[in-house]
Amino acid sequence: MNSSEAIKAIKERLNIADIVSRHVQLRRNGSRLTAPCPFHQETKPSFSVDPDKGFFYCFGCHASGDIFEFYSKINGLDFNETLHALAEEAGIVIDSFSPEARAERKRELTKRQLILRMYEYAKRSFLANLESPAGAECREYIATRGLSEEIVAKFELGWAKREWRALAQGLVNTGYSEELAQEGGLLGKSDSGRIYDRFRGRLIFPIKNLSGQIIAFGGRIIAGEDEAKYINSPESPIYQKREHLYGLPQARAGITAKGFVFITEGYMDILTLHQFGYDNCVGVLGTALTEEQIKRISGFASSVVLLFDGDRAGRKAALRSSEMALVRGLKCRVVILPEGEDIDSLLRDKGPEFFDGLTRDAPEALDFCANLLRSLSPREGIDWAKGLLGKIEDAALASLYATRLASLFQINEEVLRKEALKQSGAKASRTIADLKNRRDTEILYFAARYPEKLDDLRAIGADLALTSPRARQYWDILEKYDVDEVVSRLDEKQKSFWFSCRGPEAPPLDTCDFEFSCLEKSLKDYYDAAEKASIKAALESASAPGEFEAQLDYLRALQETMEKGREQS
């Protein structure tokens, strides 16, 4: 089935309460289910789920939506990722239009499922290796690093044996294809064509997606320092390193509870932070922080704390990462570790109190970037500020940054404001609730509540009365998509408006005829006033000498219009 059919089928097959209950404990309250909200820190049951309508709503933070919105928000996924994840749960295959494309999609799904099963097998093998006599040297290394049994179990650490084909042979004996295991990144292939284990003699860090599936591994050498200290799985049909963060599944609850996330680099840093109680930390995966990772994080928290080394490379990485967080509109602070220290040594030698002090005193990202750039070159700093403003889509956010940046760099604020308006003003987003005139809001309010009445709205000229481009865009979405698919096509502010019209706090959807009659009268008054204004304008334009006949025609039209209005009032 296509995506539109899949959306409808998913809502029929999956219950929003079942999905939500994986993350919070729901309790019955009349026709609704309630719980503390998973999206902000609280203890009161302000979060409400209506299984019959398929909606959720929080009376505290005002998060709202359907099953797709919840799954997307709780897992930090975009809509397409959410659609395919829920489709897989519901046993639905989303097809393209051609038979060839459908067949290819089915082959890709089968390949992906097989690779995921191989990774699960590999994880179990690595876990067993760690507990075996062969894993003694790895267990000793873990003990020297001070990792607790709870952390080892929480992150499912394992051991890759030193043999060249220990995992490969196990996969073959279980019936898996060596070629597919190589494509999935578990095995390597030499120039001579020999298949071998990619991970050998290493402490293994499983990397999970937000569904808890193993999609990659990281491995640290514990002896033989002539080899690379860390190696990671290559990209594969199930893993793109730009999109994932190490430890995010384990940190999700901590991020929600604390309201912010630590972002750092190394595997061991993440384990140490969790062991010391900082269970809201995640790590990048062998690369600089990416826009995709920032986007994913923003689905969980609006505030981040960046943890970077104090060397030159660390400061440059902090600058790049800060810029991405700022463009995304996240609140961001930057902790630069003392030179010669890493997170592990700092927490174990100087203690959590010292680390908390660094975090508490950490500068905001704008301040950090400005101070760093001023120390390099004033010109470079000003160019960076203009570039930052040009990347921001929200004009209000760009204007806010312009004020702060002008102060930080001691330059003319008006220049930066003009730059902000020029580079990002055209892309500024506006909420439907803030439309310039009430009429647009009235029309779209009714259309969102009763999308099945669009034909009736067109019959009274509602679509023609819309004046804002933003409002017309909303109308076009309502026209183009079925009601089950509409939400997935709206941006965040449009979704907020949609659920304010249809969600738990909205009036019941049982007064359609009355609401329509009120809107019809409002539109009639609008069109009557517009017609009178048009006739008056035409009369004034025809007031030149020699236009007597034209003036009489316009006067008659104006009189007829006014009489018709009195008769119908």
Stretch among 88-92, 109-113, 387-391, 512-516 having the lowest mean pLDDT? 109-113
Same domain for 168 and 65 = no
Round to whole Å and give the CA distance between 246 and 263. Answer: 10
pLDDT of 436-454, one tens digit each?
Answer: 467 888 899 899 889 899 9
Domain-terminating residue out of 319, 335, 369: 369
Position 432 confidence tier, pLDDT thresholds 50, 70, 90? very low
Same domain for 137 and 123 = yes
Same domain for 216 and 104 = yes
pLDDT of 51-66, one tens digit each?
Answer: 888 888 887 777 888 8
Same domain for 451 and 329 = no
Question: What pLDDT is stored for residue 429 in this prediction?
Answer: 39
Q: Contact at 8 Å (CB) between 75 and 209? A: no
Same domain for 449 and 342 = no
* Structure-token pair, residue 18: 């079942």
Same domain for 341 and 358 = yes
A 10 A CB-CB count for 93 gives 13
Q: Contact at 8 Å (CB) between 289 and 242? A: no
Same domain for 44 and 7 = yes
Whose structure tokens read 């010391």?
A: 276
From edge to edge, which strands make up the β-sheet containing 261-264?
281-283, 261-264, 303-308, 331-336
Nearest to 347 by CA among 364, 331, 359: 359
Domain-terminating residue out of 186, 219, 239: 239
Same domain for 551 and 436 = yes
Number of domains in the chain: 5
pTM here is 0.66
CATH of the domain at 38: 3.90.580.10
Domain span including residue 215 = 99-239
* Structure-token pair, residue 275: 């062991």
Same domain for 564 and 437 = yes
Same domain for 191 and 261 = no
CATH of the domain at 122: 3.90.980.10
Locate the DSSP E strands across 239-294. Answer: 261-264, 281-283
Q: How far is CA 84 from CA 6, 87, 314, 447, 563, in A?
A: 9, 5, 37, 29, 60
pLDDT of 316-354, one tens digit each?
Answer: 999 999 999 998 888 999 999 998 888 988 999 999 999
CA 511, distance to chain mean position in Å, is 36
Same domain for 209 and 121 = yes
Nearest to 123 by CA among 156, 162, 147: 156
Q: At what angle do helices 79-90 and 3-13 cross, to 10 degrees?
A: 60
Stretch among 200-209, 251-260, 287-296, 560-569 having the lowest mean pLDDT? 560-569
User: Rg of the chain's alpha carbons, rounded to an integer?
Assistant: 30
Pick the residue with more confidence: 98 or 139?
A: 139
Length of the chain in terms of residues written = 569
CATH of the domain at 361: 3.40.1360.10
Domain-terminating residue out of 239, 258, 279: 239
Q: How far is CA 387 from CA 27, 398, 420, 427, in A?
A: 50, 11, 9, 15
* Structure-token pair, residue 121: 């097998």
Same domain for 382 and 269 = no
Nearest to 73 by CA among 207, 255, 232, 332: 255
* Structure-token pair, residue 25: 């404990």
Position 395 confidence tier, pLDDT thresholds 50, 70, 90? low
